[in-house]
Structure 1
């Protein structure tokens, strides 16, 4: 199985994060796992990583709806600060709803194929690694 070097979860739902972490540990999904409660915390941390020239995540799983900064605003900010000489991470949007508006927004960000419905099980994570 392909093990990722650094993965990031951005979600304010502690139960969802707990479930994701357990599934990832069982799959030996990633060498390092970063967890943030909102998009702004993640952006600030990524900016520090960029400033210190440390390894950035190659995969980000982010909830669409969160306080402070949600998933869509996060994507816009991340694309602004991400170093041009570094490959952008793969981003999967997570949600507990099937809102047609969210699906349309995913298309505008070119993420319509990277859309996960909660709860997220090990099978969905395995598909990401393939």
Structure 2
């Protein structure tokens, strides 16, 4: 499995971010990790990259429950980024929610590849790498 060029974590939980970055580095997951603490920061940052004709991250790990803009609102805005910018982006919803409604809602978004329960494990990231390659 080859590593990715870049990935993005969108989550308001600093402990989750710290742990996920540590696991990513341990398995040499990617070269660059972008971090945003809510959906609004993320959509602003990703739109800016797209406007500058820079590549968006290969994979986005998206939390559902965040302040300011939650994961669902992020997905609604992310769809508005031109497809040629976002077509190589794979999104994984990462959440501690076991609510069947959340899992069902994720399946309605063609952009979302899968739903991963927190905490993220090495096996989860290895599966992401194998799914993408």
Compute the TM-score of the two structures, normalised by the length of structure 2.
0.91
- Structure 1 stretches of 4+ moved >6 Å: none
The answer to whether the 8 Å contact 1:103/1:112 transfers is no
Structure 1 position 88, deviation (Å): 4.2
Instruction: Tell me the SS of whatever aligns to 2:80.
Output: helix
Aligned CA RMSD, in angstroms, stands at 1.4
Deviates more, 1:46-55 or 1:29-38: 46-55
Compute the TM-score of the two structures, normalised by the length of structure 1.
0.93
Deviates more, 1:108-117 or 1:22-31: 108-117
Structure 1 position 113, deviation (Å): 5.4
Aligned counterparts of 1:98 and 1:85: Cα–Cα separation in 2: 33
- Aligned pair in 2 of structure 1 residues 112, 90: CA closer, same or farther (>3 Å)? closer
Specify every segment of 5 or more residues in structure 2 that has no aligned partner in the other structure, as ranges.
none
Deviates more, 1:34-43 or 1:111-120: 111-120
Q: Deviations over 1:50-71 (max 9, x none)?
A: 1111121110001011011111
Q: 1:99 — aligned with what?
A: 99
Q: 1:21 — aligned with what?
A: 21
Aligned length: 129
Structure 1 position 84, deviation (Å): 2.5
Q: 1:85 — aligned with what?
A: 84
Specify every segment of 5 or more residues in structure 1 that has no aligned partner in the other structure, as ranges.
none
